[in-house]
Amino acid sequence: MKKIALFVAMVVAILASYSMAFAYKNTILVDGKPFYYNVPDITIKVAGQNFDTGNTPPLILKDSTLIPVRVISEKGFGAKVEWDDKTKSVTITKDKTVRLTIGSDVALVDGKEVKLVAPARIIGIGNEGYTYIPFRFLFETFGYKVEWDQKNYQINAASPPKIANITSFTTSYNNGVFSVNITADSPIKYSQGVIEDPGNIRIYVDIENAIWDKGRIDIPINKKSLVNAVIAQNQTQPVPKVRAVIYLTDVVPYNITKSQDSTNLTISFDVGTSYVTGISFAKEGDYDKVIINCDAEQFNTQKVGDNKIVVDISDAILKMPDGSKAGQIPVQGNVITAIRYSQYNNDTVRVVADTTGKADYSVKILDKNIIMLVLKSQPNEMPLIYIDPGHGGSDPGAIGVGGLRESDVVLGIALKLNSLLTKGGFRTTMSRDSDVFIDLVTRSQEANNAGADVFISIHTNAFGTPTPKGTEIWYYPNGYKGDTRDNKTFAQIIHDNLMKEINTVDRGLKEGPNLSVLNKTKMPAILIETAFITNPDDAALLQDDAFQWKVAQGIYNGIVEYFKKLKEGSISATVSNSVYDTNNTNSNP
């Protein structure tokens, strides 16, 4: 009997010990009311290590697991915690600001509302009151991955991954391979995908837990089917993500590689190399014809002064019959006096036509040849205006009030402007006259290759809230990176005439060095944000036919004044040669 009694006593002692170690029993105050709490202990492990919350244990109330805000935030995250007794709210600050109000199931994270599974509440333990909130919200808000182990009543939290700061976004070309390079200060983790629309292919890379703090960057590429590369911060919550997108008009073989330390990501495209194998000349009536034997798909043209027309063929190697890397062909044309050529740099062949004076030209690809037709300008010939209604086709642009599409609005304005210009005797060409997709590089290339005298891109503005409204005009900064165009004068003249016709908020002139249609064009160029499609007042104007005619009339009046001042000599016409290396004596235009 004594042995049995001893055994029973031992069992009771063990059970008592088990109960004390694995159950929390206490009378607590919940929302000011006494509540007898008797639930198994909840343990917290952060990165595999036990986290002690002291005399404020995690609790389970009404099927919600709650944790004490202050001890977790201050000791666990190193955050600052402030209590406002007047508003009965607690604010947690570290990288982001979290505000919770007692009794409310809505929290504010950096000013944005987040729904809670249970409200924040005051729990009285002993003689003190403590703020408790749902465990998952607090951990996940600060980047921790959390799991609830029901069997062991345990919260497992994995430390947030290290944030990678993207430090550079560049492009390069070598031996037929074009690369987009992304560099970070710590290892990169990414996912990839492809979106295929006819003529508009997008290859994207999403970099998880990454920050890009330089805003949206757009790098024009203009090589074979590659159009441009874009990088931007895609999202900040729940984890930061950076997205890089490469736009193509057709499929190009590519691969993605990482450096050994995973801090550099390279997206490589096999664009191949073209060869210039011959150059010839012919007179055809009043025209001079230059034939460049080449299988290239990409080239760019510009006028330099009144005596030179330059054609640059990208991704190309000079392979003339005599093996020369530079040369000159004397000719006696209607206006061309000589044709010069050279291997301008590792991947560009330059062909220059010297003329006796100002000439009009067009350059096109025909049967694997680049054909340049040159005609002496007539003394009274009207200028050529390139009109660019933005977006189109698979790219509707901004969507405004009532589903109004930017691409539709700007096409309407552009067609009206074209009508006014042609009636006024001007020569015109449009990037599009219907709802079709045209990539950004093609727009500027067409204007350059057609020898346009000015370039006008028409858009509507947009914003995330309906408040902003008004009209603004963007231009490439005068003198920026050696650009020789006087874009500001052109922008100012158009602005002044436009604002006389329309009654919108005047937002003035803006510098846009990163806008492709402004930094790739060679003639004076502007981009007009006619009004905000996301503002109710502006949107009503934009879809009004009479207002569209006023916009077109204002732009037309500005064009007339600009060329009148050019003729008078009070301003001077300019073209850009900023992309050329004037130290290269073999290939200077």
* Residues forming the active site: 529
H-type helices in 23-119, by residue range? 69-71
Over 187-233, what HEC string results? Answer: CCCEEEEEEEECCEEEEEEEEECEECCCCCEEEEEEECCEEEEEEEE
Contact 512, 474 (CB under 8 A): yes
Sequence-separated (6 or more) residues with CB below 8 Å from residue 408 = 396, 435
3-state secondary structure of 478: coil
Instruction: Give the Cα separation of 388 and 497 in Å (integer).
Output: 19
Name the E strands within 19-105: 23-30, 33-40, 43-46, 49-51, 59-61, 64-68, 80-84, 89-94, 96-101
Distance CA 80, CA 465 (A): 32
CA atoms of 223 and 254, how far apart (whole Å): 14
- Going from the C-alpha of 202 to that of each of 199, 230, 251, the distances in angstroms are 10, 10, 10
Residue 555, φ and ψ in degrees, nearest 5: -65, -45
**Separation in Å, CA 85 to CA 28, 34, 90, 131, 575:** 21, 22, 9, 12, 66
Cα–Cα distance between 401 and 534 in angstroms, integer?
5
Task: Give the closest residue to 475 by CA, choosing from 525, 407, 437.
Answer: 525
d(CA 154, CA 148) in angstroms, rounded, equals 6
Instruction: Compute and round to an integer the Cα radius of gyration of the chain.
Output: 34
Comparing CA positions, the residue from 372, 252, 266, 357 lying closest to residue 310 is: 372
* The CA-based dihedral angle spanning residues 319, 321, 326, 328, taken in that order and rounded to the nearest 10 degrees: -140
Tokens representing 533?
A: 């499609």
How many whole angstroms separate alpha carbon 155 and alpha carbon 144?
12
Q: Please name the amino acid found at residue 106.
A: V
Omega prior to 238 cis, within 30 of 0: yes
Which residues in 210-232 are b (16+ Cβ under 10 Å) and which e? bbbeeeeebebbbbbbbbbbbbe
**Residue pair 311/363 in contact by the 8 Å Cβ criterion:** yes
- Reading the block at residue 581, the tokens are 């290396």
> 421, 428 in Cβ contact below 8 A?
yes
- Where helices occur in 354-397 by DSSP H, the ranges are none
d(CA 406, CA 186): 40
